[in-house]
Amino acid sequence: MRVSIMGLQKQGLNLAFRLTREGMKVENLAVCRENGKREKELYDTGDSEVIILGMPVGAGTCFLYQTLNRLVLQKGVLLAVATSVMPGTTEHIRELMAQRGWIAGRDFNLVLTPFHNELNPEAGDAAPQIISGLTPACLARGREFFAHCSDQLVPISDIRIAEIVPIIENAHRFIHMSFAQEVKDYCTQNQIDWPVLRWAVNLAGHTLPEVCAGVGDDLPRDMAFLQGFCPSPLFAGALAADVRYRHNLCQKVKDGQHVLVIGLVADDETLELVNNPTAQLICQLQHKGCHVYVQDEHISPRELAALGFEPPNPQVKYDVIFKQGEIYQAWED
């Protein structure tokens, strides 16, 4: 069996390990970062029995639809969406496939199995893994295949639930993070030891998270997703608190200082900057007249420059370093 994975992030890499161990032929098709462009007009997936769409969709799902339209497919293919999507995405995919004259459950099978938990190829799954399908036949085909990938596969009959589960999970974590940011700001203003307070609160079994305004990942994106389709004063407040926390960080930096920002994205395939908190912080610092340099282990200096960021300059002595949600005074020579 040939399996094509579109977007081999950490979850996709571990998934590939498990499938290879099961004797399957796994091919990774990397999607180019520049508007999905690639050297070839179409993706050569015509002999793939399973195609896993795992690339980040960013602020919308147009990129996912564009990629899907460029796939060469065989009848009976299993399409598995393994990333966070907006509600209604799978139904729109059904409509796109209908334009080819294909019917879900007969000509193709579509399942949604958001791998929001990282799969460990040695120790098995960290938590149960949900899966849902457009039709009962789609779900049955998906369960048959993903039984090779997950030891705790949990079927969900309503695919709309599977669409919003990872969004709700990440938005819930984001709200906790925003709460912690507000408390930490209070501690800073009143000379209260934040690490000690956090430790004392968590003694009772609570989870007051560490604060991190830094690298863009699923949390700010999915919080924006949720506020988009389920507007709420609570969600808006969490987003506003996150913005204020970065504003307060900026106040610690003097106008015109040289700032090194370490860490922009969460992995080597996520270049979505619309809801990226670090990118927003960089813009705020630049607005203050600061000279900002960006370093990221996932992005080369050339790519950073193409994105409009200034790569690190070894000849510059930095006044301030921003890393993992904190501002540090640069070390002295």
Same domain, 176 and 322: yes
Domain end among 111, 127, 157: 157
Claim to verify: residue 172 and residue 135 sit in the same structural domain: no
Q: What domain range includes position 33?
A: 2-157
Mean pLDDT of the region 179-207: 91
CATH number at residue 100: 3.40.50.720
Domain-embedded: residue 162? no
- The residue out of 126, 157, 188 marking a domain boundary is 157
Domain match, 68 and 140 both: yes
Once rounded to an integer, what is the mean pLDDT over residues 140-156?
90
pLDDT, tens digit, for every residue of 235-254?
999 999 888 888 888 888 99
More reliable by pLDDT, 272 or 109: 109
Helix%, strand%, coil% for the chain, nearest 5: 40, 20, 45
Burial of 108 (0-12, 13-18, 19+ CB in 10 A): buried
Q: What is the pTM of this model?
A: 0.78
Question: Domain boundary residue among 95, 128, 157?
Answer: 157
Q: Are residues 173 and 316 in the same domain?
A: yes
pLDDT of res. 128: 82
**Position 32 pLDDT exceeds 60:** no
pLDDT higher than threshold 90 for residue 99? yes
Instruction: Please give the backbone phi and psi of residue 322, each rounded to the nearest 5 degrees, phi first.
Output: -110, 125
Whether pLDDT at 59 is above 90: no
The reply to whether 149 and 259 lie within a common domain is no
Domain count, the chain: 2
Report whether pLDDT(331) > 80.
no
CA–CA dist 265, 214 (Å, integer): 9
DSSP code at position 75: T
Same domain, 91 and 238: no
More confident site: 58 or 290: 290
14, 139: one domain:
yes
**Residues 43 and 192 occupy one common structural domain:** no
Rounded-to-integer distance, Cα 33 and Cα 271, Å = 7
